[in-house]
Chain A
Amino acid sequence: MLVKTEELKKHFHIGRGQILHAVDGISLEIQENEILGLVGESGSGKSTFGKTLIGLHQRTSGQAFYRAEPLPKDFKTADHLRYSKEMQMIFQDPYSSLNPRMTVLDIIGEGLRLQGEHSGKEIRDKVAFWLQRVGLHPDHMSRYPHEFSGGQRQRIGIARAMIIEPKFVVCDEPISALDVSVQAQVINLLDELKQSMGLTLLFIAHDLSMVRYVSDRMAVMYLGALAEVGPANDLFFQPQHPYTQFLIESNPEPDPKMERERAHKPIVGEITSPVNVKPGCRFADRCPQVMDRCRSETPLLIATSENRQVACHLFT
């Protein structure tokens, strides 16, 4: 086990005494050298979870561990310096996540520079190495972000995270902003880096087909809580939680014959507000198999087999 959370919560006070339960008690283990895919609709809290885990948000309560070592609740500068060597993040939007006034050398080299252990020449050499490693050219280091396409910017973002040689990387929707032909390039690059560097990835995305393909295990989030966790293929092909079932049924397959043959019954309603969440199952209002106890009693994430967990009263 490399990373672990216990009842991790992140609440935001949004004024007028209202509380937004973005992440509401997530207990999850990520094994060394695995890719854990985290899926869920917008507003389910998946990005907030990733950011809270590596200290970009201060958690409200709960625990987070890195190699069994408890992570501080409030990351001070020294903590960031220490843990950023181990844990890095790749952001969704390759446009807003790169400072337009910094050169590529400064962007990719900033992490090393802040560590203060490398000379300017070392940093330059490493940046040149990493530019090549992600499929760009060392000459690119004197350029600015606006001179690159979306796919190239995402590579710069990847080089910025990887130059630190981290053990754990949170990839927050790393391919959503990219064209299909470029998505495959970035996925193959991440996969190759994972193999060669022994990386562990938390891969956050909403593209279910891609997450199933990339991940070893998958976790499904709904309104700040985990609905289901399991090996990617098992969870995708035999979903247990009614929400996971709907999510996967909603996902079209790039195959016209299969699309004509399968039943289409989209889930009714929309994800409800994470503000002042009621007790009970969060999915109860949309669930076709809802029972009385679902509206009063919050289902716990329980093991249904050796490596699968589901939070649903149908299984308790």
Chain B
Amino acid sequence: MFPFNFEWIWDMGHTVFMGGLWYALTIIGIGMTYCIIKAAIDASKKNGEHHH
């Protein structure tokens, strides 16, 4: 649920529950994005070294 959904209410319950969910998902998402991008860069560097 997001604040733009019709059933959203700006109260403590919605803010804490949904905020907690987004917080956890953001950490997991950023962590995995970092790993995937860095792996792609590392792999391309390795390939580049092989070509030279």
A and B associate: no
